[in-house]
Structure 1
Amino acid sequence: MVDTQERRAPRRGIWSWMLFDWAQQPFHTLIITFVFAPYFASTVAGDAARGQELWGYATGVGGLLIALSSPILGAIADATGPRKPWILFFSVLGVIGCFLLWRAVPGMEEIGPILFFIALAVFGMEFAAVFNNAMMPDLVPRAELGRLSGSAWGLGYLGGLSTLVLVLGFMSASPESGRTLLGFEPIFGLDPAMREGDRAAGPFTALWYMVFVLPMFLFTPDIARRTSARGAVRRGLSQLGRTLRSLPSQRSYFSFLLSSMFYRDALNALYTFGGIYAAGVLGWSIIQIGIFGILANLTGAAGAWFGGRLDQRFGPRFVVAIAAVILTACCVLVISTTQTEVLFVTVAADGGSSLPDIVFYCAGGLIGAAGGAIQAASRTLLVDQVERERVTEAFGLYALSGKATTFIGPLTIALATGFFASEALGLSSQDAQRLGVTPVIALFLLGLFLLPMVKSRHQGEADED
């Protein structure tokens, strides 16, 4: 039974908690999607298909580590109480990983350390979010959770948009022209030939996070320590064991974890490989990918905000279902678009048509809007599945299901891309990239298939469990 007691944190504490999304979203925007990832694939790794494969392995390993440890640490955190010490520890790891991405120089021979830094950044930043999300149910009454989650996601997208404009407008420059998107020379003397503007996305992300995460630590109330930390590992593991044994009998909770595993995996894959795909298949520059990112962040902010209002009115399951259908359609649209084709129909044999670019921009806008809505609603839907005292453990299991997403999605794309790029098949690098992304469609469909078995407590709806 979910605790429905009315409680509310001070307004300053609520806004400070929301600023965590503002602080962290640039990691996803600049590093994972629109600047560093396509730079790594096209310039550091040398070959776009090979870069996509290596990026999949690096982010997959980081996700796998989270998947294996988050339920255990979440249960331990619930046994002791406060979440901020955990957020601080993992934030330090994430910040270090982001700072060290500066060392990814074009055409470097030894890529291993960079892959480690990518995995470390993913591990730290994503784990910090697990514990931050667990603070949400203690801030506002249940009836307001959807709006809170949607507003926070929307604010996060605006943070990602702000940093993307700053990086593309003043730091990242075309190697050919030496000018940024706004026509300026890069600030701080960043060298376009060495792609220092793209590499600076790592340290910039770390600094942004360090500044804007501070209000959460200072002003957002944390729950009191429940018991001594001594013996917390034993108590946490014991509670986790009971939860895992009973989970299959909790149909709604179990179905939600499985469903979200698949649809979030698919969404993460779209975010992770969208810029890489655009660079390799459509031949887009970092500047074009950046414009694509600006559009996706604008629509993502609007989608998260509007989705939060729909969540409050119709419930989170409705929002998740509609968004998943839109994302599935967008995935088909993306895979069917190349420099010469739209929906697998040739529009210009010589690649001279602008229609593929326009279609890809439209798909990106829809992915941003639906992605913002589905992620915000998923947090609310998870809270509906458990008691308040077990919410950190629940977000740990959510991370397990989601990071079985973070590593299954990228790894299946990496394996599929490697398979289709093999010499035996004789496919071009572009065709290998297109076919390598096809597992995403199946993941969305699996998530939709399981969703009807998930119950919501929107407006007092009773759970069957």
Structure 2
Amino acid sequence: MATLEKGSKKLINAWAFYDWANSVYSLVIATAVFPIYYESITSENDGIVNFLGTTFHNSTLLSYSLSFSFLIVALISPILSAIADYTGNKKRFMQFFCYLGSLSVMSLFFFTGKETLWIGIVFTILASIGFWGSFVFYNSYLPEIAYPEQQDRVSAKGFMYGYTGSVLLLAFNLVMVMKPELFGIEDPKLPARISFLMVGIWWMGFAQITFYHLPNNVYHKKPEKDFIFKGFKELNEVFKALKNQINLKLFLSAFFFYSVGVQTIILLLGIYVKKELEIETSKLIIIILLIQIVAILGAFLFSRISEKIGNIRTLKLTIAIWCIICFAIFLINSKSESIDLQVYAIGASIGMVLGAIQSISRSTYSKLLPETEDHATYFSFYDVTEKVAIVLGTFIFGLVGAISDSLRNSIFILALFFLLGYIVLGFMKKRELTSK
């Protein structure tokens, strides 16, 4: 197969298509169908379940499982990324995590009740590790497949593909779950379980387009046999170099603060809407779909705005909007006659800046990188920053809610993290991010 040139439309589309492939996991498994299925399967006995000889509340066990998966990724991704950079085998690592994730999602088909709870928990952890682990290597391809002046649009294209593909599959899955008789299905558990199979097949199948076209060993490296030791050495060298990159360190600090807000809202908005605002499940699903659809427009629109006013100003604009959204959520009254309309408006607002802040953050980090061949290692620090932010954000959200007996106060605290991110971005030295 002929190697596609950097910046070529075909190569960029092939890279972006991995978002189409794997984003069905984040929407169908992490956000919509699986959490509802898990809750229904484990709701007996007031949601008390037993796992590894210990008693947990069902939602607590699922939360701990996801946190554990984030911790594993945070620990191994810098090491594996450094090895991947040293050996030039980045695509092989990406494929491994892709197959780990997709096969684990398909294995959730066998999670049929409390007696198979271990299947649900173990493969939830492995699927999460596969998803986030593959994303480290996927993101690190951005500076290798697109030139700096292309990267805002290319990053946005990936998220647009992801939102579009995941909405299409989720819509089909929801029809199957809510109207199983249309498919001749009588077992009420079966539609959700079939959805898990479909997600895994979709993820693995469409990823082949990306794997077929993405180059491996771009820099033609010829590693020595002691690649593990050399991988650690590579990681140490990148870490030392990172300490001298002032703008990069400031950006990672800002990224950490506002990611606490963004990722926590993404993961826990459903819980807030159901418990605090008392919105029924069917309307919650509409909100989730609305967020995904509007996010397509947001990613496109803000990638164009960044070309006009620059990446940092665009990020500050999106952060300011996130702050406003937090205060709107904090002030919304569940007893209001227009509660549905208000919640839909907030969902649309979140969608508009969700795709924007994710795509612009990725391209901004890519542009800030020094001239290097260690893209996977550098992006592992980006990934670890996000994972630590998720763990801290979800912990603070739960802690503040427990102490104050109100999730509203948790939303208020998240607004402060957005504000911190905005302030730190203001300390970055002015630099044109359209070229290196």
TM-score with structure 1 setting the length: 0.82
Matches of 2:419 and 2:43, distance apart in 1: 32
Q: Which residue of 2 aligns with 1:328?
A: 323
Matches of 1:54 and 1:412, distance apart in 2: 17
Name which of 417, 433, 436 aligns with 1:458: 433
Contact 2:274 2:280 in 1 (8 A): yes
Counterpart secondary structure, 2:374? helix
Contact 1:98 1:117 in 2 (8 A): yes
Structure 2: gaps (5+ residues): 49-56
1:97-136 paired onto structure 2 within 5 Å? 97-105=104-112, 108=114, 111=117, 113-136=119-142
Q: Which residue of 2 aligns with 1:35?
A: 33
Q: Measure how far apart 1:154 and its partner are.
A: 1.1
- Cα 1:104–1:439 shift into 2, 3 Å: farther
Matches of 1:284 and 1:191, distance apart in 2: 27
Q: Which residue of 1 aligns with 2:52?
A: none
1:275-290 paired onto structure 2 within 5 Å? 275-290=270-285
Q: Tell me if 1:256 matches 2:228.
A: no
Q: Which residue of 2 aligns with 1:440?
A: 414
Q: Measure how far apart 1:120 and its partner are.
A: 1.6
Aligned amino acid, residue 458 of structure 1: L
Matches of 1:414 and 1:103, distance apart in 2: 31
Q: Which residue of 2 aligns with 1:405?
A: 389
Q: Which residue of 2 aligns with 1:309?
A: 304
Matches of 1:109 and 1:435, distance apart in 2: 37
Contact 1:265 1:406 in 2 (8 A): yes
1:10-89 paired onto structure 2 within 5 Å? 10-41=8-39, 44-45=42-43, 51-89=58-96
Q: Which residue of 1 aligns with 2:195?
A: 201
Matches of 1:298 and 1:373, distance apart in 2: 13
Aligned amino acid, residue 297 of structure 2: A
Q: Measure how far apart 1:167 and its partner are.
A: 1.2
Matches of 1:410 and 1:39, distance apart in 2: 21
Aligned amino acid, residue 426 of structure 2: P
Contact 1:42 1:51 in 2 (8 A): no
Matches of 1:265 and 1:227, distance apart in 2: 39
- Deviations, residues 278-308 of structure 1 (Å, cap 9, x unaligned): 2333344443222112211111000011122
Q: Which residue of 2 aligns with 1:168?
A: 174
Contact 1:54 1:414 in 2 (8 A): no
Q: Tell me if 1:239 matches 2:223.
A: no
Matches of 2:375 and 2:341, distance apart in 1: 43
1:145-164 paired onto structure 2 within 5 Å? 145-164=151-170
Q: Measure how far apart 1:254 and its partner are.
A: 1.0
Q: Which residue of 1 aligns with 2:378?
A: 394
Matches of 2:408 and 2:58, distance apart in 1: 14
Name which of 126, 144, 150 aligns with 1:144: 150
- Cα 1:454–1:369 shift into 2, 3 Å: same
- Cα 1:365–1:74 shift into 2, 3 Å: same
- Deviations, residues 368-395 of structure 1 (Å, cap 9, x unaligned): 1101011101111111222241221111
Aligned amino acid, residue 40 of structure 1: Y
- Number of equivalent positions: 420
Matches of 2:307 and 2:423, distance apart in 1: 24
Counterpart secondary structure, 2:181? coil
Matches of 2:64 and 2:363, distance apart in 1: 30
Question: Which structure is higher in helix share?
Answer: 2
Counterpart secondary structure, 1:64? helix
- Cα 1:335–1:153 shift into 2, 3 Å: same
Matches of 2:37 and 2:415, distance apart in 1: 25
Q: Measure how far apart 1:15 and its partner are.
A: 1.1
Matches of 1:37 and 1:271, distance apart in 2: 14
Aligned amino acid, residue 21 of structure 2: A
Matches of 2:416 and 2:111, distance apart in 1: 33
- Deviations, residues 82-123 of structure 1 (Å, cap 9, x unaligned): 3210111111221133123334456x3774553332222111
Q: Measure how far apart 1:242 and its partner are.
A: 2.7
Structure 1: gaps (5+ residues): 1-6, 174-178, 341-346, 348-352
Aligned amino acid, residue 233 of structure 1: I
Contact 1:320 1:378 in 2 (8 A): yes
Q: Measure how far apart 1:204 and its partner are.
A: 2.1
Contact 1:146 1:380 in 2 (8 A): yes
- Cα 1:248–1:13 shift into 2, 3 Å: closer
- Cα 1:27–1:377 shift into 2, 3 Å: same
Matches of 1:165 and 1:41, distance apart in 2: 20
Counterpart secondary structure, 1:368? helix
Contact 1:172 1:186 in 2 (8 A): no
Q: Which residue of 2 aligns with 1:4?
A: none
- Deviations, residues 17-53 of structure 1 (Å, cap 9, x unaligned): 1110111111111122233224434663566995554
Q: Measure how far apart 1:273 and its partner are.
A: 1.3
Contact 1:63 1:123 in 2 (8 A): yes
Aligned amino acid, residue 281 of structure 1: E
- Cα 1:324–1:200 shift into 2, 3 Å: farther
Q: Tell me if 1:221 matches 2:215.
A: yes
Counterpart secondary structure, 1:453? coil
Matches of 1:244 and 1:11, distance apart in 2: 33
Q: Which residue of 1 aligns with 2:423?
A: 449
Contact 2:299 2:352 in 1 (8 A): yes
